[in-house]
Each structure stands twice: as C-alpha cells, then as structure tokens.
C-alpha cells in the first residue's frame, strides 16, 4: 500500500525491521552461503532466516501455511518473502540441505549481542548455566530419531544463561540420547552448571571436579552421605544441612572426591544440592538452584508461544536448522523487549508486536514498494526523513 508523504512527515520504522535488525548486524563477517551447483540460490540465507523468524513469531502451523502466507499476505510478500516468491521444493531444500553453518554463526553472534545489553539478575552468584534436555515428537519416517517401538522422538540438549534468561549452547540427538555427557560440552570455563536429579552421577561428579568444572546438581533424597566436615547452620534459615561429604553407599558407587552438600526446604519439599562451589553461602546455593526452573519455563514458553516443535523438517540437519531459527527468534525478542521496555520476553509483549506487524501495511504510514529488498527497508527505516 504505497503512501505519499508530506514534506515534513517522517517515515515510521517498521516494527519487524526493529526486531530483525540485530540479525542483520549478526550476519557481518558470516561465511558466505553458496549454491552447490550451477543453478543460483532460489532463496538467500537472509531471506530464509527472515521467513523462519516470521514463521515462529506468527505461530504458523506448517511450512505449507507459511508459504501460503508468503504468497498471499501483503505484508509478508513485501517484507518477508523473496522478491520472486519461493516454491515448496526450494524452501524444503534450503531448510534440509544448507545454511546450518550460517544459522549457528548468527545464533552465536546474537548471544553476544544479548549478553552485552541484558544485565545479570544476580551477578554475585556467578555465571550460572541451567542444563536440561527436551523431547521433540517426531514422525515415524524420521528413522534417525530413535526412542522406542512405534514412537520416534528427538532430543534437544540446551544450556540456558540463568542470569540473563537467554539460551546458550545447543545440541541435538535422537530421543534416547544420554544427557549427562553434554554437561562438559555445554559448559565453558568459569560457568557453573545447574542441573536436576537426572544428571546425578557420582563418577561424573568426580570427573567434573578433576576437570575444574563447576556444578550444582540436585540429588535423590535417599542418597547415602558420609559427613567429613559439618558447617554451622542458621536456625532461621531455609537451609538445614551444609557439609563436606562423600556420596554413595558402596566403594563402587562412592564419590572419590569430597564435595559440598546443601539441604534446604521450601513448601515442605526438601532439596539436596551437591556442588563444588565453596565460595557461596548455603542460602546463595539454594537461591541459585531455584533459578534452574527458568530453563523449564523457557522450554514450556518456547514450545507454546513460538510453535518451535511444529516440524517443518524431517532430516536431522533440517530439524537443527529449525531449532536454531527458533532460538534466534527468541534472542531477537529478548533484545527487542529489553531495548523497548527494559523487560524480559513475555507473551504480552509478543502479542503487541504481532498486532503491530499485522497492522503496519494497513495504517498508511509506510511506503513499501512491493518486492523491495529488506536491506533497503533497513536503510530507509534508519533514515531521518
């Protein structure tokens, strides 16, 4: 819908441009995506990423639904879709066969951007990374996604920055993929992994300590504990136990390296946290572990409101591209919500953004020639007049 501007009128900045601009910046120095044959690419990487961000943001239910919108919706045709449109076969090829290196590059770059602008909630607790796995329902045709007979699932293994509420390292396996081996892969030097009971392993506790890996891991309440050094407890505190211990009941199951064990109670539920963080007070260990629920909330919110697990790819390669696009969408929202409102991502703000995007071409304040290049939008949106 072209619009004639008066001499003193300013062009308003497209809200999708505001959202997507950090991704444009993240593409600087990105490895070039090239065609694998003599035929030119039907969809550039930027166009592919733009379409997948739009897919997650607008809660489309399938690739076919997305392609229909890109073909028929005025806004999507003008701002999201490639100039000449995109066919189902070309979109499928782009998702399942190319671009993974570039998606990972943009994802990591956006993490850096988000970390630089989003402050830590509790910096005194250190660099806390929640670690957890999440299952994705797969189709029976996805033979690589082993889970159980007549059921296929994939599994995401994710590190989550608990102090900034943003995703970190990501790995994808079949549904039977073990979670504990990914702790060492997800954590970097100086980070503390915060994990639930599924990660309890006395052998790995020893290995993590030998490797200098910091951790806080909830353990089962009935785990045997041999107290080596008890620490004083404040009777008014939620903490009822703080000691250096050896865990396990037999020599084959015992930890070789002593570690710290914190016990605290909330709402009549007792929590036992094994850790090698001796620099924090017991109450701080309890507070840090309670932050672990943020990764659970992230997975639930991500699935529900961005429809990340509505499959548009069947290959392991394509599913990883889709997951990275979903994580990129979340990081873009995290940056957008912080810059616009100084808030975390919320469905309230996402719905406001969706409404703005859906109404942009209907307001008459945007001069968007059909089929124009997105980078031109970015340049003109940043112009003063």
Interval 355-365: pLDDT, tens: 988 787 666 44
Average pLDDT (133-141) is: 92
pLDDT at 279 over 50: yes
> Which phi and psi (to 5°) does residue 317 adopt?
-60, -50
| pLDDT reported for residue 36 | 67
CA max distance for the chain: 83
Beta-carbon contacts of 151 under 8 Å, excluding residues fewer than 6 positions away, are: 175
* Cβ neighbours for 168, distance < 8 A, ≥ 6 positions apart: 111, 129, 158, 159, 160, 161, 186
Q: In whole angstroms, what is the distance from residue 260 CA to residue 275 CA?
A: 5
Residue 67 CB neighbour total at 10 angstroms: 23
Lowest average pLDDT, out of 54-68, 228-242, 291-305, goes to 54-68
Of the chain, the percentage scoring pLDDT greater than 90 comes to: 68
Q: Please tell me the predicted confidence (pLDDT) of residue 2.
A: 42
Give the Cα separation of 271 and 226 in Å (integer).
17
Q: What is the mean pLDDT of the chain?
A: 89
Res 370: pLDDT: 41
Residue ranges of the alpha helices (H) in 120-247? Answer: 182-186, 202-211
As a whole number, mean pLDDT of residues 69-83 equals 85
* Least confident among 87-96, 226-235, 335-344: 87-96
pLDDT of residue 4: 41
What is residue 336's predicted lDDT score, i.e. its pLDDT? Answer: 97
More confident residue, 115 or 5: 115
């Amino acid at each position: 819908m072209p619009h004639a501007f008066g001499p003193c009128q300013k062009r308003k900045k497209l809200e999708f441009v505001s959202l997507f601009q950090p991704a444009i910046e993240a593409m600087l120095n990105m490895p070039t995506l090239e065609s694998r044959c003599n035929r030119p690419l039907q969809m550039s990487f930027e166009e592919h990423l733009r379409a997948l961000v739009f897919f997650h943001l607008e809660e489309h239910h399938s690739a076919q639904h997305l392609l229909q919108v890109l073909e028929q919706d005025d806004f999507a045709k003008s701002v999201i879709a490639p100039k000449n449109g995109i066919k189902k076969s070309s979109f499928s090829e782009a998702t399942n066969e190319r671009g993974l290196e570039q998606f990972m590059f943009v994802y990591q770059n956006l993490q850096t951007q988000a970390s630089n602008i989003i402050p830590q909630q509790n910096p005194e607790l250190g660099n806390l990374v929640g670690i957890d796995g999440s299952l994705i329902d797969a189709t029976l045709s996805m033979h690589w996604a082993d889970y159980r007979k007549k059921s296929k699932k994939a599994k995401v293994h994710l590190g989550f920055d608990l102090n900034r509420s943003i995703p970190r390292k990501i790995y994808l396996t079949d549904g039977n993929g073990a979670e504990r081996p990914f702790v060492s892969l997800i954590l970097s030097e100086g980070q503390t992994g915060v994990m639930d009971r599924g990660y309890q392993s006395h052998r790995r506790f020893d290995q993590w300590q030998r490797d200098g890996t910091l951790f806080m891991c909830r353990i089962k309440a009935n785990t045997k504990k041999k107290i080596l050094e008890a620490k004083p407890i404040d009777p008014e505190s939620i903490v009822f136990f703080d000691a250096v211990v050896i865990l396990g009941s037999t020599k084959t199951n015992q930890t070789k390296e002593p570690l710290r064990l914190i016990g605290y109670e909330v709402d009549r539920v007792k929590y036992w946290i094994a850790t090698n963080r001796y620099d924090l007070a017991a109450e701080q260990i309890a507070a840090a572990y309670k932050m672990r629920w943020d990764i659970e909330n992230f997975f639930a919110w991500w699935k529900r409101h961005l429809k990340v697990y509505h499959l548009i790819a069947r290959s392991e390669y394509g599913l990883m591209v889709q997951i990275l696009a979903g994580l990129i969408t979340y990081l873009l929202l995290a940056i957008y919500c912080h810059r616009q409102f100084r808030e975390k991502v919320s469905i309230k703000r996402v719905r406001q953004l969706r409404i703005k995007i859906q109404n942009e071409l209907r307001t008459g304040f945007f001069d968007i020639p059909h089929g124009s290049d997105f980078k031109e939008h970015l340049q003109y949106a940043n112009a003063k007049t």
